[in-house]
Structure 1
Amino acid sequence: MDFLRPTTWADALAAKAEQPDALPIAGGTDVMVEINFDLHRPPALLDLNPIKELATYDTAEAPVLSRGDDPPHPPVKSGWLRIGASVPYTRLINELGDALPGLAQASRTVGSPQIRNRGSVGGNLGAASPAGDSHPPLLAGNAVIEVESAARGVRMIPATEFYLGVKRNALEPDELIRAFWTAPATGAQYFSKIGTRNAMVIAVCSFAIALHPEERRVGTGVGSAAPTPRRATAAEEFLSNELDWDGRTPFSVSAAQRFGELVKEAASPIDDVRGTADYRKHALSVMARRTLTWAWNDYRANKIAGREAS
């Protein structure tokens, strides 16, 4: 097995172009497990650790998608966040938890402290496992993935189009993930996960919700309950029209139940060693109702506080 260790991003792209079957590695929290158990033997490893820019983040204008569409969100006042593919979960929690609460909550559920110090969203995206913890909040927040090749340059791929199948993503053989883009939260966000124990466990199923009050829209993300992470679009549309965005009234019990049912209907899980399909669907409906309750209570409390202050 060859071990490639470029020191610049340009060198990394050149190495990937020359050897497209080289497997990128940064934290190695997924890759090394598969190698140690002899589940996967790539012909080469492409070590991205020396490339410091992948471990940084900054603010930027809303991204322009590669197919020429409008940005997936209207521009927000504080600008978008562009987060390098190798920024570890620990830094997402400690440094970006206020701006991206849903992603920070999901990051706290990843493995042990040692894993969170090494693992990153870029690695989660590269592995494209349906059970990846960062996928639901990325979908709920309409994140965009920045990828690049030496030959064709940069592509901006919406998270909704990035996952193609079980452990398959939209990357071309010569492309590498450089960063992901997402707007800071303008409303409440929550993530919920069920596992076979309380910590250091792969999700049986997971769910994320994000309120986007400026657009009067709800975002969702469903994990470990289909061949790919996905949104529950019918549930989003229903709830976006059902909620009182002025925050003066709570949502009805029937609306919460219907939201949970629509989230359940969006899933297409399987039976496996971690849980049955029926259990996953039931759990998703419960998590959908609970995260909605938490998010809406926060939203209404902030609206009430704002009215009292004025």
Structure 2
Amino acid sequence: MEFLRPATWDEALAAKAEHPGALPISGGTDVMVEINFDATRPDFMLDLTRIAELTDWSADGDRLRIGAGVTYTRLIADLADQLPGLAMASRTVGSPQIRNRGTVAGNLGSASPAGDSHPPLLADDAVVEAHSARGVRHIPITEFYTGVKRNALADDELIAAVLVPPADGPQQFTKIGTRNAMVISVTAFGLALHPSTGKVGAAFGSAAPTPRRATKAEEFLSAELSDTGRWDSRAELDPAAVSRFGALVAEAASPIDDVRGTADYRTHALSVMARRTLVWAWTDYRRKRVRTCA
């Protein structure tokens, strides 16, 4: 195995173009596990840790541009107020040591259905910014996951950043694991309320071959809140609507039985988590005036 250590982003893209099979590594929290278990053995490793520009985040129009090297710890510290759902998910990732090294971009590159950052990114309509020596490509998050641990990146592309709109309403994230901490999710759910547009984002992980949005549940709740005037009145939710939302989320799943849980358990858990996160988010919405986009 040969180790490549570019000093600049241009050098990294040139190396990836020359060696399309090179496996990028930054935090290494997923990559090293696969190598240690001999699940992967690339001819080339592409170390991106020397490229300082990847560790920055900034405003990019109406979105936040989070560099591929921004760690979970930094995201929690710097962006919890603007991206609360993603920060909640980041807090559940591994141990403090893992959060100090791991990145959202690494989670995206691995494309595991159980990745904790995927549900909030889907609920927020994030966009993956991919670079290659050929140029820049923006991939909507709904098109990024193509299969179990497969993504839409071309062989010569690297993730440069992920673009996420700042929250304009309450967000929530919850997951269930076989223990309380440092665990891969049995299933996870992310919710984002978007009062500025009257939309709802709802997505889950570890209950389908890829992370997935619950589109029918989103459409139902968006219509329910609009048709009943609740976006403006902030009245209590109809319990029947909450139940229906949970049922539609569960219907969107296609889980399997595995060592962490059964398909039936995952389906039931998703329904419960969807109802709970909706109540939590709506309680926040009723309690305070939320920031809206200009």
**Secondary structure of the equivalent of 1:222?**
strand
C-alpha distance after superposition, 1:251-281 (max 9, x if no partner): 1111000000000000000000000000000
Match of 1:176 among 138, 147, 158: 158
Contact 2:234 2:285 in 1 (8 A): no
Task: Please state if 1:270 is matched with 2:256.
Answer: yes
Pairing of 1:1-310 with structure 2 (within 5 A) = 1-61=1-61, 79-151=62-134, 153-243=135-225, 244-303=230-289
1:125 CA drift (Å) = 0.4
| Distance across 2 between alignment mates of 1:95 and 1:172 | 31
1:136-176 superposed Cα distances (whole Å, 9 cap, x missing partner) = 0000000000001102x000001000000000000000000
> Contact 1:247/1:299 (CA < 8 Å) preserved in 2?
no
> What number of residue pairs does the alignment pair up?
287
Deviation at 1:196, TM superposition (A): 0.2
| CA shift digits 1:88-143 (9 cap, x unpaired) | 00011011000000000000000000000000001000000000000000000000
Paired AA for residue 18 in structure 2: E
Q: Structure 1 runs of 4+ off > 4 angstroms?
A: none
Distance 1:46 1:239 in 2: 44
Once the two structures are superposed, residues 277-308 of structure 1 have per-residue CA deviations (whole angstroms, 9 ceiling, x without a partner) of 000000000000000000000001114x99xx
Separation (CA, whole Å) in 1 of partners of 2:24 and 2:205: 24
Q: Percent identity?
A: 69
Deviation for aligned residue 1:204: 0.3
Q: Secondary structure at the match of 1:246?
A: helix
Distance 1:230 1:57 in 2: 26
User: Structure 2 stretches of 5 or more lacking a match?
Assistant: none
The code of the aligned residue for 2:86 comes to L
How far the C-alpha of 1:247 sits from its partner, in A, is 3.5
Instruction: Tell me what 1:73 maps to.
Output: none
Cα deviation for residue 248 of structure 1 reads 3.3
* Cα distance in 2, alignment partners of residues 256 and 238 from structure 1: 10
TM-score calculated relative to the size of structure 2: 0.96
Q: Is the 8 A contact 2:131 2:160 kept in 1?
A: yes
**What letter matches 1:129 in structure 2?**
S
- TM-score (structure 1 length as normaliser): 0.91
Aligned mates of 1:222, 1:202 — CA distance in 2: 14
Aligned-pair distance for 1:80?
Answer: 1.4
Which amino acid counterpart does residue 293 of structure 1 have in structure 2?
V
Where does residue 71 of structure 1 map in the other structure?
A: none
- For the residues of structure 2 that align with 1:297 and 1:4, how far apart are their CA atoms? 50
**Which residue pairs with 1:64 in the alignment?**
none
